[in-house]
Structure 1
Amino acid sequence: MRNRWKRWLGGALLAAALASCAQVVTTSGGAVGVNRSQSMLLPSRDVEQMSAQAYAQQLQQARAAGRLNTDAALTKRVRLISQRLIAQTPAFRPDARNWRWEVNVLTTDDMNAYAMAGGKIMVYTGIVKRLKLTDAELAAVLGHEISHALREHTRENMSQAYMQQVGLSLVGVLAGFSADQLKLASMVTDVTLNKPHSRTMESEADVMGLELMARAGYDPNAAVNVWQKMQAAGNGSGPEFLSTHPSGPTRIRDLQAHIPQVWPLYQAAGRKA
């Protein structure tokens, strides 16, 4: 009787959490038609505040290590390209013009870049220098990361992780699962739920970034060049199954398919790049 009651209570708590999970569409579809609704459990303001705090810590650590904005010319270049892209963000969501955007550069050989919730951007020098990115190619990278922020993918991922924690801790523990069983269940849940969503998010950021760069006057074909360079560097290949990103060939094919949609926007921008 007690175990039955625990299972019922766990199910009731999980059902209550699920009921509070709102379905939202964070952006307009744009020319590329990104219209997927997203499950959001956590408030946008809270995630933005947490992201701002985390970003401030990253800046502090980078500054203390002497690795923050050490290349003045590259930092200026990244910020100028970012400004052109950020100016186009209202095409997807008008409120983004009021975000407190920050753009910084971290000196490291790692090839990476990210944008936290609310427009906190970091570009690693490794991705620019090792891939020898042109301005248009750098715009493709930045447009991709900015699109993650516009779609609030951080908030969506955190909501999913929170739901898993609620589901596993409340239902699992109340049902009498051991800690090792919960760890295994968490791994299975991650592979089953998070990986496909992550691939979807990456694809959304790819095509939205393509539109942002086209609107800003950067040749959208440069996005294809980036992934060809990534493949040549050994970072765009590998099996797509169980990957958090689309495979290089899939990514390139999808980008090429969307270029005709954004090409008129690039032409209208006057081909400034």
Structure 2
Amino acid sequence: MKRIGFSRFNTLKLAICLAFLSACSSVNTTDSGAVGIERKQLMSPLVSEKQMDATALQAYRDILAKEAKQGDLNSDPVLTRRVRAVAARLIPHTAVFRKDAPSWQWEINVIKSDELNAWCMPGGKIAFYSGIIQKLNLTDDEIAAVMGHEISHALREHSRERASEQMTAGLGLNILAAVTGVGQGGADLMGALYNVTFSLPNSRTHETEADRMGVELAARAGYNPHAAVTVWEKMGKFSQGQPPQFLSTHPSHETRIADLTEYARKVQPLYEQVRR
């Protein structure tokens, strides 16, 4: 068997990488809430919350400027007021998961687009696309379900976690390639394997966490948590031919609906308490 050489340079590289990896901290960015979100997250010291917020703000500004120039930013005042009214009810309840979140510099805007899309960047920068509301004929309860989900991604700092994960994975693969002598081609192959084996399932974990937190936010704000189920039933009609669940960054619609049904039932008492 051929012995694998390991130069002084690679030894130094390994030491530096391992020191970096050991500096990553295991944290829980949110309180557990009634839905019980307790998973620890690995965060890199090179990807701070402040950096993520600053980057998100610049990206958000760029997007808004582009959409405004095209005349697609908040072009429907009635729809914009409707979306912002939902956000105004949801945001105070973010304190259940993060006490600092209600004081974030929240922004809510509606973009005229046929896309079935909505997102919330780090720091509370929200965009809703008109297409998701109009094509799916969303009720306010369903808008709250989508928005609660997207807000939850920001509360959990999923973007920062993914950035940390990718940075750490890149270092780890470089170490493995150096130790085993597989070269760049082997490192690329290992990267693909890592993506399918670890990265994509973690994305599904993020989606599930956001689903569960989202129904709680909606329920606490007085929106029917079961509306999350009807949203994904509607979405299912627009996603025929989706890839197998094990190669998808999102859970399958069947898995998602089953989980949402369970957790909507769990937070139903919170909704009923508000509606009394």
TM-score normalised by the chain length of structure 2: 0.91
**Counterpart for residue 158 of structure 2:** 153
**Counterpart for residue 38 of structure 1:** 41
| Structure 2 CA distance for partners of 1:97 and 1:236, relative to 1, 3 Å | farther
Q: 1:270 aligns with which of 257, 271, 275?
A: 275
Q: State the one-letter code of the partner of 2:13.
A: G
The question of whether the paired residues in 2 share the 8 Å contact of 1:14 and 1:167 is answered with: yes
CA distance in 1, matches of 2:185, 2:83: 46
SS at match of 2:30: coil
Following superposition, the deviation at residue 192 of structure 1 comes to 2.2
Runs of 5+ unmatched residues, structure 2:
none
Q: 2:81 aligns with which of 73, 76, 79?
A: 76
Q: CA RMSD in A?
A: 2.1
Q: Please say if 1:166 is aligned against 2:171.
A: yes
| Structure 2 CA distance for partners of 1:245 and 1:125, relative to 1, 3 Å | same
The question of whether the paired residues in 1 share the 8 Å contact of 2:10 and 2:178 is answered with: no
**Counterpart for residue 22 of structure 2:** 19
Following superposition, the deviation at residue 168 of structure 1 comes to 4.1
The question of whether the paired residues in 1 share the 8 Å contact of 2:177 and 2:184 is answered with: no
Q: State the one-letter code of the partner of 1:18.
A: L
CA distance in 2, matches of 1:40, 1:235: 36
The question of whether the paired residues in 2 share the 8 Å contact of 1:227 and 1:236 is answered with: no
Deviations 1:101-160 (A, max 9, x none): 011111111111111111111111111111110000110000000000011101101111
| Structure 2 CA distance for partners of 1:43 and 1:236, relative to 1, 3 Å | farther
Runs of 5+ unmatched residues, structure 1:
none
- What is the percentage of aligned positions where both structures have the same residue? 46
Deviations 1:30-79 (A, max 9, x none): 11001111001121111111111111111112112221111111111111
CA distance in 2, matches of 1:255, 1:266: 15
Higher mean C-alpha deviation, range 182-191 or range 221-230 = 182-191
Following superposition, the deviation at residue 175 of structure 1 comes to 7.5
Q: Please say if 1:198 is aligned against 2:203.
A: yes
| Structure 2 CA distance for partners of 1:145 and 1:236, relative to 1, 3 Å | farther
Q: Please say if 1:128 is aligned against 2:133.
A: yes
SS at match of 1:87: helix
Following superposition, the deviation at residue 93 of structure 1 comes to 0.8
Q: 2:255 aligns with which of 240, 245, 250?
A: 250
SS at match of 2:267: helix
Q: State the one-letter code of the partner of 2:31.
A: S
Q: State the one-letter code of the partner of 1:50.
A: T
| Structure 2 CA distance for partners of 1:12 and 1:171, relative to 1, 3 Å | farther
The question of whether the paired residues in 2 share the 8 Å contact of 1:10 and 1:175 is answered with: no
TM-score normalised by the chain length of structure 1: 0.92
Deviations 1:204-240 (A, max 9, x none): 0000000000000001111000010011222695421
Higher mean C-alpha deviation, range 6-15 or range 214-223 = 6-15
The question of whether the paired residues in 2 share the 8 Å contact of 1:237 and 1:248 is answered with: no
The question of whether the paired residues in 1 share the 8 Å contact of 2:226 and 2:265 is answered with: no
Q: 1:239 aligns with which of 234, 244, 254?
A: 244
SS at match of 2:128: strand
Following superposition, the deviation at residue 179 of structure 1 comes to 4.8
